[in-house]
Structure 1
Amino acid sequence: MRFSKYQGIGNDFVMIADPDDQITLDPEMVRHLCDRRFGIGGDGVIRVAPGDSDSELFMDYVNSDGSIGEMCGNGIRCLALFARAEGLTSASEIKVGTRAGVKTVTILEDGDVRVDMGPPEFDPKDIPVDWSGDPLHAKIELEDAVVEAACLSMGNPHAVVFVDEPDLVPLSTIGPAIEKHAMFPKGANAEFAVVESPERVRMRVWERGAGETLACGTGACAVAVASRLLRDTAEVVTVVLPGGELVVEWSGSPGDGTSVFMTGPAVKSFEGEIEL
């Protein structure tokens, strides 16, 4: 099977073109492809299939552990450049169907990719999170602590925790504890962030289904939204992740339907063939 490897600020994906919509990404195959020693290596697999009446293409995204992903911000930027390179589209503005709805992706003149990520969701049943109070101040009871998190959805569930220093967070223990907490019936991505200035936020992320990654596009959007609402940051912020930086724009307020926009790079690493 032919593939390409792409990365968006270190968040890396195995990309597969499927113009005839004939390939099934079963969990075992995805785990093999994402294995960094016995496969290709990646945080997930993206199959690019034909769209429908509302979209030109469809992003079939599966996490490295074989679980289905509704949306991937870094992945959809990679998809745009991959689709152009594979001749699946010639457009600079592409309507891409995802399990979180149709997203508009624009390839800019400088090569970066801008994505209309849609509006954030704050209704606990839409995130989803089992919390009866304000989801921006949810209390997560862990074994040895109670953590306050801003919970919201960017097409997938996020729990944003503000800390003094993200680098000091024991991510390998607290990350999976939040990801798999009973409060989140579909699991959650856990972000740990600090506001460095009104225009700059730094974070680390534990991704649902992938573990710690160098970057998470939807997570950066969730952090930017939570920072604006709870830490009074600007409408346009640079979000700094271990793998690089993203620019996130949001001028809305909860429930008003204003989209979040994310801009960042995507890079092809290599291509090849693999026997399955």
Structure 2
Amino acid sequence: MRTLLPFTKMHGLGNDFIVINAMKQAFSLTPIQIRYLANRHIGIGCDQLLVVEPSTQAMVDFRYRIFNADGSEVQQCGNGARCFAKYVYDKGLTTKHILHVETMSGIIQLHIRPDGNITVNMGKPRFLPAEIPFLAEETALFYPLEVEGRTYQVSVVSMGNPHVVLIVDNVRDAPVQTLGAEIEQHPRFPERVNVGFMQIVDKHQIRLRVFERGVGETFACGTGACAAVVAGQRAGLLGSSVIVHLHYGQLHIEWAATDSASVNMSGPATCVFEGTIEL
């Protein structure tokens, strides 16, 4: 039997999402249905599908699930987290301005600010290869990674999901589509990886393009922005407060560069339209 699915289309700096409210009914879409919804020709079109669910933990406001366009479920999405916060507040699902939200990678805190921007406490970055996961014998600032006979020096960071960061002279000329796809599937990353191409403008500004696993290049990636700034700070190339320039705007990333410090990301979230689709 065909059913009508209500949805909201949102984006965070061009990284676009379908948001589904599953507060009162169980989420039951299959990977095939998610791929159909994400298809930009025959469905709605999105980079990820976001699901709003009741929390399974005490003192936590909501549960937040993320599915890539290929139907795979992933641990975290920073741009999606900002859209999640705007969605639950605008829909009257909460009146709080500070939310605690359950994800596959742990509890995150979302702060809805008076200016409309949303700050996300993204948690502590992780660097141990086993935590990424990444196949390496020991932890390092940079790792040699061989791709198609050429060796690249890369940083590896987990922001609740795995990221590789490469420093490039100019993101405009970076081989995001080709090299990004090759690194995403590299055998040293057992769960695949997101690939960031970072151009350092100065100590407090970078330009960034990201090839997301299961999606391809996106206009913005919140966890990728966090991972890039963290990698740059660890290498002594960036300060503690950095503006990340993306295709449709910018994010503000702050990190104190200590083992106990969480990464904070601030930026906008936008509702595009609402509707229903037949499944």
> TM-score, normalized by length of structure 1?
0.97
Q: What's the counterpart of residue 113 of structure 2?
A: 108
Cα distance in 1 for partners of 2:66, 2:275 equals: 20
Q: What's the counterpart of residue 182 of structure 1?
A: 187
Gaps of 5+ in 1: none
Corresponding letter in the other structure for 2:60: S
Cα distance in 1 for partners of 2:233, 2:248 equals: 23
Does the aligned pair in 1 maintain the 2:234–2:257 contact within 8 Å? Answer: no
Kindly indicate whether residue 145 of structure 2 is the aligned counterpart of residue 140 of structure 1.
yes
1:16-95 mapped onto 2 (5 Å cutoff)? 16-51=20-55, 52-95=57-100
Instruction: Name the stretch that deviates more: 264-273 or 45-54.
Output: 45-54
Corresponding letter in the other structure for 1:259: S
Does the aligned pair in 1 maintain the 2:111–2:119 contact within 8 Å? Answer: yes
Corresponding letter in the other structure for 2:224: G
Gaps of 5+ in 2: none
Q: Which of 235, 258, 262 is 1:259 aligned to?
A: 262
Query: How many pairs were matched up?
Result: 274
Does the aligned pair in 2 maintain the 1:12–1:43 contact within 8 Å? Answer: yes
Q: Which of 2, 6, 28 is 1:2 aligned to?
A: 6
- Quote the offset at 1:54 in angstroms: 4.1
- Quote the offset at 1:38 in angstroms: 0.4
Does the aligned pair in 2 maintain the 1:117–1:260 contact within 8 Å? Answer: yes
Q: Which of 254, 269, 274 is 2:272 aligned to?
A: 269
Secondary structure of the corresponding residue to residue 274 of structure 1: strand
Cα distance in 2 for partners of 1:208, 1:53 equals: 32
Kindly report structure 1 stretches of 4+ aligned residues shifted beyond 4 Å. none
Root-mean-square deviation over aligned CA pairs: 1.0
Q: What's the counterpart of residue 130 of structure 1?
A: 135
Cα distance in 1 for partners of 2:69, 2:248 equals: 18
Corresponding letter in the other structure for 1:114: T
- Quote the offset at 1:229 in angstroms: 1.3
Cα distance in 1 for partners of 2:103, 2:6 equals: 22
- Quote the offset at 1:21 in angstroms: 4.2
> TM-score, normalized by length of structure 2?
0.96
Instruction: Name the stretch that deviates more: 226-235 or 156-165.
Output: 226-235
Q: Percent identity?
A: 39
Q: What's the counterpart of residue 166 of structure 2?
A: 161
Instruction: Name the stretch that deviates more: 87-96 or 16-25.
Output: 16-25
